[in-house]
Amino acid sequence: PPPATRGAAPLSPSLSSPLPTAPAAAVRLCSGAGGEPEAAGGDGAMLRHLARKLRASGPVTVAEYMREALTNPGQGYYTRRGGVGQSGDFITSPEISQVFGELIGIWYVSEWMAMGKPNTFQLVELGPGRGTLTEDILRVFKQLASVLSKCDVSVHLVEVSPKLSEIQAATLTGGKVRPNPEDESAYMKGITKTGIPIFWYRDIQDVPPGYSFYLAHEFFDALPIHKFQRTEKGWREVLVDIDPEVPDQLRFVLSPSRTPATQNFIQPEERRDHVEVCPEAGVIVQRLASRIEKDGGAALVADYGHNGTKTDTFRGFRNHKLHDVLSAPGTADLTADVDFSYLRKMAQGRTATLGPIKQREFLKNMGIDLRLQVLLQNSGDTATREQLLHSYDMLMNPEKMGDCFNFFALLPHHRLVHPDKKDKPQSKSPPPPVAGFNELLLK
């Protein structure tokens, strides 16, 4: 049997100034947590590349900067380092506890049942990190093999980082994987340890159409954001430029006039003075919503974020510490809180949306307390029990990950239709409540 918990050993480095609410920066903290950024470092290749570019053609948008720093094919942070996990720069829920992925696996099975047990589905994960979450989900699918026996399941991972895709392949297939010829959309394919076909893509658009359950955990926060500042002269975009005073040092500047992005992304009714918008997240949600509308399925998004209320949340992590976003680009993770109100808007009514709901409420509804009890009963030694309690606390404590992480779902409209609103209210029993957002009721 798998170990009861994994990766929850305490992470040592502490912040130079104490944080008001969160534990030592083991997880990527919600914005506003404060703390002094770590000093610069790295080999400077990305900085030199950017400095050349900025000197040649002027300041770039924060989105362009973030895209270069994170996913530049040669020097990007995810491309080269990929930083998830104990030995990396930040740790995520699936890396803290196996229970997290197991409950998400149960969510998919419960939705699959509620939607009439279609005879095939694709599990599509965006930004799978080390592959841990998928591994935990697939273990649940295997344990529930008798329920899923007549269902044809396949796994589809959307991952831009060659380094992380290798780690995912090792975790999930144990080596049963091979590169795919270039003319096919999937760049790699294999068979999971549980015997399911698995494929890798660079873009969600490459994933074949079909009934799919989508998953995006700590994915949207890594996508490039635009930043805007209200000034006396109107909205201006925050740009990244080279500091003329200090060689090879970057700084933020404001665009001298409006930019295409200020015209397109700021709502007329906006009241905040500083706004972050992630158009790439919007485009991906539109694609998910269209795919679900057309082919069926559901999407579960989990991330730290807000409902259109927060302002400056752009921050960096390196070696489990906050890191100055403009220093040593390519060596640190850059992230911004997800604006769930924007995601909801970008679904454009093609699907219904649920949430955001706090992680601790979602996991509670999914039965985390019962699962913890079972694991505690089954674990013989004190160290394991302490680990279990510690990881439960990390996931659930409102001052740790419980409150600032949220769950959000896209579902076909028919999944939520209340019987009163149907033409023939008596013809069918009401659809079962959606687990996680309500209490889990497995029949």
Binding site for ligand SAH (CB under 6 A): 70-71, 78, 82, 84, 92, 94-95, 127-129, 133, 158-161, 164, 217-219, 222-223
171 versus 311: smaller Cβ distance to ligand SAH: 171
Shortest reach from residue 162's CB to ligand SAH, in Å: 10
37 versus 82: smaller Cβ distance to ligand SAH: 82
100 versus 437: smaller Cβ distance to ligand SAH: 100
Asked if 197 contacts 121 with a C-beta cutoff of 8 angstroms, the reply is no
Q: Which amino acid makes up residue 333? A: D
127 versus 296: smaller Cβ distance to ligand SAH: 127
Sign of the CA dihedral running 308, 311, 317, 322:
negative
Shortest reach from residue 319's CB to ligand SAH, in Å: 16
Residue 295: partners with Cβ closer than 8 Å, 6 or more residues away:
209, 210, 211, 212
Shortest reach from residue 193's CB to ligand SAH, in Å: 19
DSSP 402: I
**Four-CA torsion 356, 387, 126, 347, nearest 10 degrees:** -10
70 versus 140: smaller Cβ distance to ligand SAH: 70
Cα distances from 373 to residues 80, 241, 322, 376, 388, in angstroms, run 40, 53, 35, 5, 10
Output the residue with the shortest Cβ distance to ligand SAH.
Answer: 127
Burial of 231 (0-12, 13-18, 19+ CB in 10 A): exposed
255 versus 335: smaller Cβ distance to ligand SAH: 335
Alpha-carbon Rg for the chain, nearest whole angstrom, is 22
Shortest reach from residue 43's CB to ligand SAH, in Å: 20
Shortest reach from residue 134's CB to ligand SAH, in Å: 9
Look up residue 53 and give its two tokens. 């570019």
Shortest reach from residue 427's CB to ligand SAH, in Å: 41
Give the C-alpha separation, 197 to 203, whole Å: 18
163 versus 230: smaller Cβ distance to ligand SAH: 163
Q: Is the peptide bond before 181 cis (omega within 30 degrees of 0)?
A: no
Shortest reach from residue 85's CB to ligand SAH, in Å: 8
Q: How far is CA 371 from the centre of its chain?
A: 24
